[in-house]
Structure 1
Amino acid sequence: MKPLALSKVYQLLEPGPVVLLTTAHKGRANVMTMSWHMMVEFEPPLVACVVSAANHSFAGLRAGRECVIAIPARRLAAKVVKVGNSSGRDIDKFEAFGLTPLPASRVAPPLIAECFANLECRVKDTRLVGAYNLFILEVLAAWSDPAQKNPKTIHHRGYGSFAVDGPVIRLKSRMR
Structure 2
Amino acid sequence: MQKESNISRAFTWLEPGPVILVTTNNGKRNNVCTISWHMVMDFSPHIAITTGNWNQSFDTILHTRECVLCIPGLDLLDDVLYAGMHSGTKIDKFARLHLTALQGNFVKAPLIEECLACIECKLESHIETYGILIFKGLQLWENKSRKENRTAHAVGDGSFISDGHIITKYRKNMRTKIPDGCTRF
Give, in angstroms, the shift of residue 52 of structure 1.
1.7
TM-score by length of 1: 0.93
Distance 1:18 1:119 in 2: 14
**1:79 match: secondary structure:** helix
For the pair 1:86 / 2:80, whether they are aligned, the reply is no
Give, in angstroms, the shift of residue 3 of structure 1.
2.2
2:37 is aligned to 36
2:65 is aligned to 65
Output the aligned Cα RMSD. Answer: 1.4
Distance 1:67 1:85 in 2: 19
1:136 is aligned to 134
1:75 is aligned to 75
Cα contact 2:16–2:155 (8 A) shared by 1: no
TM-score by length of 2: 0.88
**1:91 match: secondary structure:** coil
Distance 2:123 2:177 in 1: 27
Give, in angstroms, the shift of residue 104 of structure 1.
1.5
Divergent runs of 4+, >3 A: none
- Structure 2: which 5+ runs fail to align? 179-185
Provide, for residues 6-53 of structure 1, a one-character-per-residue CA deviation record: whole Å limited to 9, x for no partner.
22112111052001000111422110011111111212x100111222
Give, in angstroms, the shift of residue 158 of structure 1.
2.0
1:152 is aligned to 150
Cα contact 2:122–2:138 (8 A) shared by 1: yes
Q: Identity rate of aligned residues, in percent?
A: 38
Cα contact 1:21–1:70 (8 A) shared by 2: yes
Provide, for residues 41-80 of structure 1, a one-character-per-residue CA deviation record: whole Å limited to 9, x for no partner.
212x100111222111111010000000011011111111
For the pair 1:105 / 2:105, whether they are aligned, the reply is yes
Give, in angstroms, the shift of residue 150 of structure 1.
6.8
1:8 is aligned to 9
How many residue pairs match? The answer is 173
1:54 is aligned to 54
**1:163 match: secondary structure:** strand
Cα contact 2:151–2:164 (8 A) shared by 1: no
**1:158 match: secondary structure:** coil
Provide, for residues 152-172 of structure 1, a one-character-per-residue CA deviation record: whole Å limited to 9, x for no partner.
111001222001014112323
- Structure 1: which 5+ runs fail to align? none
